Each structure stands twice: as C-alpha cells, then as structure tokens.
Structure 1
Amino acid sequence: MNGTDEADGLLGAVLRVSGSPGPHQLLGSGGPILVTSLEGSKTVLTSPDDFVTPFDVSRNRVRRHRPSGGVRSKETPPLSAGAARTGAEHLASELTDLDIQVGASAAVDALDLVRIPVARSTAAALLPAQRECDRSHLADLTLAWIDALGPVIAAPRPPRSWTPTRRTERRSRMDLVEALSRHGVEDPVAVSTALAAGVQVPVAASAWCLVQLAARPELHAELQDDPRLVLPVVWEVLRLFPPTWLLPRVTTKAVVIQGMDIPAYRSVVVSPVALGQLVELVPGPEDGESPRSEVDPTRWRNAAQKPGAWLPFGAGQHACPGRNLGLEQLRQIVDWSRRFDLRGRASPGVDQTRGLTPRDSRIDLRRRTEPSKVSAR
C-alpha cells in the first residue's frame, strides 16, 4: 500500500539498484543491463541507431532496423492539440454516462470501470472523421485485441506462431486492422498499434489512480476538498506505478554508458519507475517530504523539481505520441472520483505480467452527499 519498494521479481530487482552510480546487470549473468541515470537513459532512448527495440507490441521480433543517417521519422506523429481536445471532450461525456451507471453506490473493478470510456475517448482523438457508432465499434475491437495480447505479454517467452494464444492474438489484431481499412483509415496497421497503446496504458494508470485513492481515504478526502491536488495525484501514480515501466533496447554496436563498456547485441533497459526514485528528480525526506517509496502527491505542491522528469512517457523516437491526451484522461478520471467516497476492497498489490497493473482492482464507490469543490484546471 505504501508503494512499490517491497515488490518482488524483476520490479524488486530494478528498485533495489535504482540510483546506483553506474549501470547494473539484472537477474545474474546474461541478464539485461539497467541504465540508472537520467542522462544515460535519455542517451539510450534518443539514439535509435545504437539502441534498437527488440520486439513490437505483439512481442514479435523486430528484424529490420533502418539506419537513420541522423534523421528518423516516427510511425505515429504526436497527437495534435485539437485531437487531444476532442478525445478529452469525449471522455467528459463518457464520464457523465458513467455517473448514471454507478448511481448512488457500486462495487466495481477499477480496470473494468474505465475500459470503455478510455477506449472511446482515444478512438475519438485518433479517428475524428469516423461516425461515433463506427468509433465505438473500433474501440470495442481495440479492447478485444488488448485482451488477446494479455496472455502473449504475460508469457515467459513469446508464444510460437502456431499456438492458440498467438493465433487468437493475431486474429484479434487483424479484425481491428481490417475494420480500420474498411473505414478508409490511412495506414491501419500503425493506427491499430496507436489505438492499443493509447487505450491500455491510460486504462492501467487510471485504475492505479482509483485503487491508490481507495486505499487512502484520508488522501482522497483531501483531494475532494482541494482540486489542486488532482494533477499531483496523477503525477505521483505515474511515478510509482507507470504501466510502461521497462523500456527495452538492444545495442547495435559497442557503446559506453555511465562509464560501462557494453558490447554489441546486449539487452539494455530504461525504467521510469527506477528513475522516479532519484534524489535529483523527486522531492524526498531531505526536502521535508515523504520517502520516495510512498504515495504522497503533496510532495509536488511547492516542488522545485518538475513532475515527469523521470520519463513516464519515454523519450526519443518511440516516446508516447498521446502524452497530452493521456494526462488529460487521467486528470479527468481523478477529478471524477471526487464525486464519490472510495474504499478499497483489498490491499493493492502489483501485477508485473503485463506492464504494471493492480493485482486486485476492486473498489467501492458511494456518491457524496456534499458536492466537491469545482476542479481547477
């Protein structure tokens, strides 16, 4: 409940060496090398010729990497301000409908609660020319592909092409790509990937926000009275529970990072959750704030440090193109939670099998009898 400092597995290994003066090899001989500094992490993420992505979103090996010659284009450009605004406006409408569904009280799974609103909001941002009914159908197909991707991502090794898991994932992906093509969407393969990433990540992050607030009634009560805490809550959850918490790369040649000689064809990882523990990026006890392992959004009220410096949206060619939309989606959902009293049904453990998601995301909502103060944007 206090954060991820007592996590086991790979997450625990990453956190135990975060802040080390140099790169650290994880999981014994032959394991990936964790880059522990912000400068080194930026080098890895912004040098696509030297550090290439090993797998695509479906965990298929990426076999071709074209040298950029100093210039490299993104498959999906950043969302325009207008597109992000369209998605945010659609989410506001979806949350109004969600109010009616929840009623006076409800016991819900936070992951299930936000799936459809976020998926439709993302589809509205990426596919503004489509009719609303078509966007809703495409959002449903995106969710079906995300569900089929779950077992692929969670498997210890990428499943073989002939396995039922892989066939189900491939069929769900092609259903979405073919539907996008029928609707005249340009480059449906790239758009399908953008839809999946633009839905899965904010769904997981939104669930973390709700689960963590439900586990901390005192914090949620403070949030209800002070809307200025809405965005700090979002940043704090993205610091401790970023859904995309490992960014893997493979070296294409011998490189030097943080003084370590790393040979060609070695796995290197950058971890926003590890960077979120760095003294220079996050206020902590020496600044009169809570330990960095604890969820405490108030640390950002008067902080000299800038929230998000720990790269929760990545950097470089593969940085999240929907950063502005994702932040606004999370802000709206946290603000929406102020209309209710939240209680957690279990201690929120961490599931590492597909990014970072709550192990138990059940929460209880009860509508407040006194309205919350108006949110400050």
Structure 2
Amino acid sequence: MSGVVESADHEQVVFCRDRASGLHAIIAIHSTALGPALGGTRFHPYSSEDDALSDVLRLSRAMTYKAACAGLDLGGGKAVIIGDPAKLKTEPLLRAYGRFVESLAGRYYTACDVGTFPDDMDVIARESRFVTGRTRTHGGAGDSSELTAFGVFMAMRAAAAHTWATPSLRGRRVGIAGAGKVGRRLAEHLIADGASIVVADVANAAVDQLRARHPDIEAEDPQKLLARDLDVYAPCALGGVLDDETVPALRAEIVCGGANNQLAHAGIATLLRDHGVLYLPDYVVNAGGLIQVADEIAGFDERRARARAEKIFDTCQRILAMATDHDITPARAADHLAEQRIAEISRPRGSWRPNQATAPQPREVAP
C-alpha cells in the first residue's frame, strides 16, 4: 500500500509499505519544473517515521536546487527506506521498493545514497526502468564518489581564488571531516595540488587506511578538528555540524565540503559570514555525484560528465560574485541562481509529465 499526502512545498509524497518484505519507505518529489525528479535512496534506521519524513522533505528540496544550479534538466526528489540496512536489506525488499519507483512512471529516478550502493540499484532495476547509479557491469558509471570529490575540489579552488586571489590550495591546511569515499578522494586531489591535510573520522580504520597511502596526512579527533588552525574546513560526513555553538569555534577561512545539510538551520549562513568565514552551499559544492548519475540516464560518457562537473568552479565563482555585488550570503546567492533558472525554464513547461517528449529516455529493465 502507498498513501499520498500534500505538502506545501512538494508536488508529491508517497508512503510505501510492503509487509511481506518489511519495506517501509517514503518517496518525496519536490519539483519537476525542470524535468523528472532525480535523487538517491537513503537506507537509514530513523527513530520514527516523522524523522524520516522530515529528512526526505528537506533532502528532496535540496535536490531541486542542486539540479538547477548544476544546469541539469531535472527536478528534485529523494527517498528514504526506514531501517538498518545491515539487518533489513534483502532482494525482496529492494525489489518491492523498485515496484513503487516504477509506479511513479518516470516522475522520479532513484540512485545511491547513504546505505545504498550500485549493486543495490541493479536489484531495484529488475523492477523499474527509472534507476541510475548502477554498476559498470550493468552499463552504469559505478561509484559516484569520484566525481563528487572532484566537484568539491573545483568548488574549493573557486573559494580559494575568491579569498586568496589564486585557485591553488598549495601550502594551505585543509581539515577533512570524514575519511569515507568522498573525503578520501578529495584528500588525493588536494595532496596533488600541494595542500597539507588533517583528517578526522569516527571510524579509525578509515583514517588508518588513508594514512597508509599518504603518511603525511595528520589524524585528529573528530571533536577537535573544527577548532583547529585550518585554512579550509571540509565537512564530508554527516550534516548539521555547523550550528550556533560550533561556528564561533571555527578558525578556518573557508568552509567547503561534500556533506549534505551542513548547516543546522538557514541562519547559520549569516552567522558564518559575520564571523568572516566564506561558506559555499553544499548542494552546489557536491553536485558532481548528481551530474554523474544524471549523465548515466541516457548512457554514461565520462568525459562529458567530468566536463560538466568542472563547471562547478564557474558556478561557484558566479555565486561568490553575486554575493559580493548584492551584499548577501553565498547561500542566498545560490538559492537565487537556482530559483531564477527554475522560473525561467518552468514557465513554458510547468510540472513534468511522463509523456513529455523532452524527458530523458530510460534504458530497458535489466534482467
């Protein structure tokens, strides 16, 4: 069974239940003004359905803005599966979820997120045509963390150019919170550019693995990294790390990382500016992953996707120039840029319908 509820800011919210497999999921479509909604499926043990709903509504809205700023003809959506993936993730559950995705007839494309991986997308794709972020074996682009990290690096270069009049991070100290897939790949880009790295992660094994490859990287306690003497602070783990208490302790001049929802609330963007910290909005910075899975819909071309991700540098420069010219925060400038594109493009199109000729064409359901 699925139930649909109204949201003041969303086109559609679908509650998905399959008792046989234990599936309990929510799919949120925020906007299809620019095209079908695209966003990952997060598999997480939320403490309640209300918490899951709050998260999926916030994340799907951010995807709308992310796609718009990235110049993609896609809208914003997201899904959450409620539960511990280590205990509940099974083929029947993923296939049941795939049937719900298919029932939306292309208004929503799903992909990987926290707790889901390309192999999971291959299973979901056995029930739905509207799946991306798949393994290379099944024609996908594989792990999107590589292009995500590359996009973060491009954004960081733009922030450096704005702050220090050079796009290079050579000689700068960058603190990376999170030594997972994105944080690890970001560190490699920064080391190649001549930066020194301080890394922190609650998983000691992830830090040890990174330092085994790059012994010059310094390890730090996750609770202490934010207050270190850094040039750049790069949140690449969970969101919400920047709040009313942590911002005054922040010593970096730039905040630029791959984590979603880095700000505890919208007012933190102003607080960061008041403390002399340049913050680039996470949904602009980490758009490389979205660019990759979006490119995969019509058949992945690595050069094309990388070239588009490289333009994150230009987008960030435009946002920072707009913020300076209008005396607003970069977060507000990014919102304005996204809203402007949505307003301009959506006027002749309205919300997206499955039979529109301009829709991306999905591949056939994989066996």
TM-score category by the smaller chain?
Answer: under 0.3
TM-score, normalising length: structure 2: 0.26
TM-score, normalising length: structure 1: 0.25
The structure with more strand, counted as a fraction of residues: 2
Bigger relative CO (Cα 8 Å, ≥ 6 apart): 1
